[in-house]
Chains A and B, each alone.
Chain A
Amino acid sequence: MNLYVYTLRRLLYIIPVLLGVCAIVFFLFSVVSPDPTLIMLGKHASVQQMEELRRELGLDRPWFIQYLDIVKSAFTFDFGRSWSTKQEILTMIKQGAIPSLTLSLPAFILSFVISITISLFVAFYRGKILDKIAIFGCVSMMSISSLAYILFGQWFFGYKLGLFEISGYEYGFPDFVPYVILPGIIWIILGLGPDVRFYRTILLDEIYQDYVRTARAKGLGESLILFKHVLKNAMIPIITYLIIAIPFLILGALLLESFFSIPGLGAMTLNAVNASDFPVIKAMTILTSVAYIIFSVITDICYTLVDPRVRLK
């Protein structure tokens, strides 16, 4: 298939997927959810009060108009106002994005560098005792609840040793740094298990390919093969994995942000859940989904540029 046709088809496929996401959001929050007016007004609300609130929130309109509103918001990012803070949701998102990104972006990059270095090391010693210990270590680390890492890290490094700020946030460049160090470290540790395991699998997939045998046959050293040939080929799935992870960065780390009182998007989402603030939950769901859809299209197209075999399908 022609590259342009493929790209066009892939781009057009965004539309049904986006409509589907909106349909799921609509189904969850407007069809099966408990009556929001009941949650907002409490059990003793009169029928009239509920009617008024329904009209105010626009819940009395026909269902397809409400669905269209959701679809529209996926394109315009105009999500209306929050039910609990009455603020414009888009403004809230813009405010929350900065603290989230100051935590997630450096942590994301560092986490990648550390994990890939370890996995190259482990792949170099594949089958040896070091490899086995590393794999067992990864699986063990993945088995411990992320909550335990956060709680223990906050208590031990923040409270007991007093090395880092335990909670809070300040805007502006050097000021935010002390607040994101500890959550950042915990982020990296949380990612270590699954990432090293994944990268190792990818690297080992490549190591048994014919071209590696050829490289060995012509007398290349093991480390040169690993760092130059294998790593280059393994980069495709690794980059896919990374690009797909980017949309989740805007959510920050839901748990980390709420534990460390960082006023980011993750904490905002959790607050919205606790306050039954439907518009904010809906907005965050749509926003992350749109980001995910866009990034997965980018990955697919990059993929075909780098590896022409993909286009054949």
Chain B
Amino acid sequence: MATEQQSKSLWQHAWETLLRDKMAVVAMIIIFVYMAMAVLSATGIIVSDWAAEVGPSYGAPSLDHWFGLDMFGRSVLAKTIKGTEVAISVGFIASLLSLVIGVTLGSIAGYFGGRVDEFIVWFYTTFTSIPNIMLLVAITFISGKGLKAVILALGLTGWVSLCRLIRGEVIRHKDREYVHAASAIGGGNYRKLVKHILPNVTHIMIISFSLQFQIAIKSEVILSYLGLGVQGRPSWGIMIDDAKLELARGVWWQLGAATFAMALVVLAFNILGDALRDALDPKLKGK
């Protein structure tokens, strides 16, 4: 049915709102640049020689080396760029993991209700009773430290709030007319839940993903600092950890570079998250 004036879909509408928000556009560009840097450095196209000695130990920032040099005379700029690889991959995979767990458990609990719901609610109540930092430390520790452990720990701890939201939304939706209509034409549980209800809660997933992304980046830095994170490759957390001993000598650039690199991308995700919420969930606007 092609009418002359087709009304805009929610997504078109949201996209246009988002593009009108200048801050959100800047945030998206920043995130895109970080993603590109991460991909380019992971494939070895840029900063593959980050470990090379390019000058004196603790060389100060100069025109040749904008962010100065570290203890081994390596370029801090190259290390910072190489660090995006860890940050972005941790952020992306961990938030994806949380998303899958949160959506699966939340929608099952909300849709089926009864005993299943009680069990899942009990499970996440239990989970939130344990302070996040203890869980993070414990999971990273027992899964053997390193990048995989950090991703696992952040993915396994970040799903609770999304699970709660999705459960609430699915409960709201499951008795709506369109769901009844779907069962009337013979749609089974799976079809009703996945094809009909979930598309109506996608906006929550997107908002939560963008917030979880920056939480994961921030936590990775802390876990790496605690010695539980990545080893043997540049990460912002390790750079900040190194800075602990450098500051007393007046070497501030490693701390500065890592902090700035992290703050910029986290800020971008924060701004984008707020803008996405305004664009996708008009009820919450202005909050």
Do A16 and B122 touch across chains, with their CB atoms under 8 A apart? yes
Do B137 and A281 touch across chains, with their CB atoms under 8 A apart? yes
Besides A155-B247, A293-B129, 15 more A-B contacts (Cβ < 8 Å) are A16-B126, A17-B129, A20-B122, A140-B263, A143-B214, A143-B264, A145-B262, A146-B222, A151-B243, A255-B222, A255-B225, A274-B227, A285-B131, A285-B135, A289-B131
Complex Cα distance, B259 from A151, in Å, reads 11
**B: contact size bracket:** 35 or more
A-B contact pairs, 18 of them (CB 8 A): A17-B129, A21-B129, A34-B144, A142-B266, A144-B259, A145-B236, A145-B258, A145-B263, A147-B237, A148-B255, A204-B287, A205-B287, A251-B134, A255-B225, A273-B228, A274-B227, A285-B130, A296-B129
Does A32 make an interface contact (CB < 8 A)? yes
Complex Cα distance, B244 from A308, in Å, reads 52
Partner of B126, one of A17, A32, A140, A152: A17
Does A270 make an interface contact (CB < 8 A)? yes
Residues on A with C-beta less than 8 A from B134 are 251, 269, 281, 284-285, 288
Do A289 and B130 touch across chains, with their CB atoms under 8 A apart? yes
Do B131 and A251 touch across chains, with their CB atoms under 8 A apart? yes
Per-residue CB contact flags for chain B residues 231-244 toward chain A (1 = under 8 Å, else 0) read 00000110011011
**From DSSP, what is the main secondary structure of chain A's interface residues?**
helix
Does B63 make an interface contact (CB < 8 A)? no
Per-residue CB contact flags for chain B residues 250-263 toward chain A (1 = under 8 Å, else 0) read 00000100110011
Determine how close the nearest CB of chain B comes to the CB of A312; give it in whole angstroms.
16
Does B248 make an interface contact (CB < 8 A)? yes
Complex Cα distance, B127 from A23, in Å, reads 10
Does A3 make an interface contact (CB < 8 A)? no
Do B221 and A145 touch across chains, with their CB atoms under 8 A apart? yes
Residues on A with C-beta less than 8 A from B247 are 151-152, 155, 159
Residues of A272-313 whose CB lies within 8 A of B = 273-274, 276, 281, 284-285, 288-289, 292-293, 296
Residues on B with C-beta less than 8 A from A289 are 129-131
Residues on A with C-beta less than 8 A from B131 are 247-248, 251, 285, 288-289, 292
Residues on A with C-beta less than 8 A from B222 are 145-147, 255
Do B130 and A21 touch across chains, with their CB atoms under 8 A apart? yes
Does A201 make an interface contact (CB < 8 A)? yes
Chain A count of residues within 8 A CB distance of the other chain? 46
Complex Cα distance, B218 from A88, in Å, reads 35
Do B133 and A254 touch across chains, with their CB atoms under 8 A apart? yes
Do A273 and B141 touch across chains, with their CB atoms under 8 A apart? yes
Do B287 and A292 touch across chains, with their CB atoms under 8 A apart? no
Does A235 make an interface contact (CB < 8 A)? no
Do A285 and B138 touch across chains, with their CB atoms under 8 A apart? yes
Complex Cα distance, B131 from A270, in Å, reads 14
Residues on A with C-beta less than 8 A from B127 are 24
Known: A151-B244, A273-B141, A289-B131. A143 touches B126 (CB 8 A): no
Residues on A with C-beta less than 8 A from B130 are 21, 24-25, 285, 288-289, 292
Does A214 make an interface contact (CB < 8 A)? no
Residues on A with C-beta less than 8 A from B227 are 274
Does B123 make an interface contact (CB < 8 A)? yes
Do A28 and B142 touch across chains, with their CB atoms under 8 A apart? yes
Does A139 make an interface contact (CB < 8 A)? yes
Residues on A with C-beta less than 8 A from B259 are 144-145, 148
Most chain A CB neighbours (cut-off 10 Å) among B129, B259, B274:
B129
Determine how close the nearest CB of chain B comes to the CB of A153; give it in whole angstroms.
11
Do B144 and A28 touch across chains, with their CB atoms under 8 A apart? no
Determine how close the nearest CB of chain B comes to the CB of A166; give it in whole angstroms.
10
Per-residue CB contact flags for chain A residues 37-80 toward chain B (1 = under 8 Å, else 0) read 00000000000000000000000000000000000000000000
Residues on B with C-beta less than 8 A from A204 are 286-287
Known: A28-B139, A143-B270, A281-B137. A273 touches B263 (CB 8 A): no
Closest to B221 in A: A145
Does B226 make an interface contact (CB < 8 A)? yes
Does B125 make an interface contact (CB < 8 A)? yes
Complex Cα distance, B134 from A270, in Å, reads 10
Partner of B129, one of A29, A147, A255, A292: A292
Closest to B143 in A: A32
Does B267 make an interface contact (CB < 8 A)? yes
Does A209 make an interface contact (CB < 8 A)? no
Determine how close the nearest CB of chain B comes to the CB of A148; give it in whole angstroms.
4
Do B123 and A20 touch across chains, with their CB atoms under 8 A apart? yes
Residues on A with C-beta less than 8 A from B264 are 143
Complex Cα distance, B271 from A159, in Å, reads 35
Partner of B240, one of A23, A145, A159, A274: A145
Determine how close the nearest CB of chain B comes to the CB of A212; give it in whole angstroms.
16
Closest to B237 in A: A147
Determine how close the nearest CB of chain A comes to the CB of B142; give it in whole angstroms.
4
Residues on B with C-beta less than 8 A from A159 are 247-248
Known: A147-B225, A151-B243. A139 touches B271 (CB 8 A): yes
Closest to B244 in A: A151
Partner of A17, one of B122, B141, B218, B225: B122
